[in-house]
């Protein structure tokens, strides 16, 4: 029997990243149901919003049935897991833009959806891409390989239910990648710039490449900048939240992702 997977994102139900991800999950033989936000909820973290009634609409996406919900991604996961039982994994993405470091860990709606699943006992994957700094950079040929690898990872955690971690954060730069590595999170925050314009406060942040260049070797931010597909394993336990989990299960996961990347020609030779 095929593993059952709930798919969501934070860019909105009609985004290219979610469509590519759903197609890859289907090709992997997984039973997929979509519960995704009606609109863009980027930066919403694990926000679940108010608990008043939420508008919810039946949809079909890439041949998969599901629901568009007028709610942030973490609440979409909450609604999906409460409405239907028996999910083996949750996968969130593919986000248009990277989610690296502790700063993004606490602000990303993509990661927030995965954390919601983990807190409810379902292992999860959060997938993000870094194709460039312009909206037009995010296209099939850049995000497609990340979708294939993410589907393999989702199948792995759905079937294996790892004991040492329950969330996998995947960040994929533009392929071809230099390789697939495990990393820990960069502990840093972008330096903001504030302009007050009448009744508007405009916040600008340091550009990503400069911010990531400040990150140390071994961190997710630095590895993405250098062209690696990066995995960060996270454990949400009763005694706290830990990232950069090492061990046999994490190495098996990395090896699986690397084989998948090689098989589709997404790694430099």
100-109, 198-207, 237-246, 256-265 — which is least confidently predicted?
198-207
Rounded to two decimals, what is the model's pTM?
Answer: 0.95
Strand 64-69 vs strand 31-37: parallel, antiparallel, or unpaired? parallel
Q: What is the DSSP letter of 228?
A: -
Mean pLDDT for 101-105 is 94
Output the pLDDT for position 174: 96
**Can you give the pLDDT at residue 208?**
75
Nearest to 88 by CA among 157, 150, 148: 157
With a pLDDT cut of 90, the percent of the chain lying above it is 81
Joined together, the tokens standing for residue 170 give 């995947």
Q: Which of the four pLDDT bands, split at 50, 70 and 90, describes residue 188?
A: confident
Report all structural domains of the chain as residue ranges with CATH numbers, in order of start.
Answer: 4-186+216-263 (3.40.1210.10)
Model pLDDT, residue 206: 65
CB 168 within 8 A of CB 232: yes
The predicted pLDDT at position 11 comes to: 95
DSSP state of 70: S
pLDDT value of residue 220: 96
Secondary structure class of 165 (helix, strand, coil): coil
Across the chain, what does the average pLDDT equal?
A: 94
Closest CA to 146 of 125, 165, 115: 125
Q: Answer yes or no: are the C-beta atoms of 58 and 67 closer than 8 Å.
A: yes
CA distance readout (Å), 263 to 215, 253, 267: 30, 15, 9
- pLDDT at residue 211 is higher than 90: no
pLDDT higher than threshold 90 for residue 192: no
pLDDT digits (tens, 9 = 90+) for 219-269: 999 999 999 999 999 999 888 999 999 999 999 999 999 999 999 999 987
Within 13 Å and on the Cβ side, how many CA atoms surround 259?
A: 10
pLDDT digits (tens, 9 = 90+) for 150-182: 999 999 999 999 999 999 999 999 999 999 999
Question: Residue 190: its pLDDT value, please?
Answer: 79
């Amino acid at each position: 029997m095929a593993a059952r997977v709930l798919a969501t994102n934070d860019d909105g139900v009609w985004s290219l990243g979610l469509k590519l991800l759903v197609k890859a999950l289907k090709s992997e033989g997984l039973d997929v149901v979509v519960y995704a936000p009606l609109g863009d909820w980027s930066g919403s973290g694990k926000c679940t919003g108010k608990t008043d009634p939420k508008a919810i609409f039946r949809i079909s996406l890439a041949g998969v049935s599901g629901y568009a919900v007028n709610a942030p991604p973490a609440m979409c996961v909450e609604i999906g897991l409460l409405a239907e039982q028996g999910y083996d994994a949750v996968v969130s993405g593919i986000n248009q833009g990277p989610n690296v470091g502790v700063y993004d860990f606490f602000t990303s709606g993509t990661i927030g959806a995965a954390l919601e699943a983990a807190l409810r006992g379902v292992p999860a994957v959060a997938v993000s891409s870094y194709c460039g700094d312009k909206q037009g950079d995010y296209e099939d040929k850049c995000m497609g390989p990340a979708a294939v690898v993410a589907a393999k990872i989702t199948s792995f955690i759905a079937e294996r239910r790892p004991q040492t971690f329950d969330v996998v954060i995947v960040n994929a730069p533009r392929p071809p990648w230099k390789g697939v590595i495990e990393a820990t999170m960069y502990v840093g925050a972008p330096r903001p710039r504030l302009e007050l314009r009448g009744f508007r406060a405009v916040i600008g942040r340091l550009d990503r490449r400069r911010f990531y260049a400040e990150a140390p070797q071994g961190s997710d931010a630095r590895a993405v900048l250098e062209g690696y597909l990066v995995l960060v394993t996270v454990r949400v336990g009763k005694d706290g939240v830990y990232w950069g989990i090492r061990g046999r299960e994490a190495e098996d996961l990395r090896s699986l992702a690397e084989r998948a990347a090689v098989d589709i020609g997404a790694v430099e030779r």
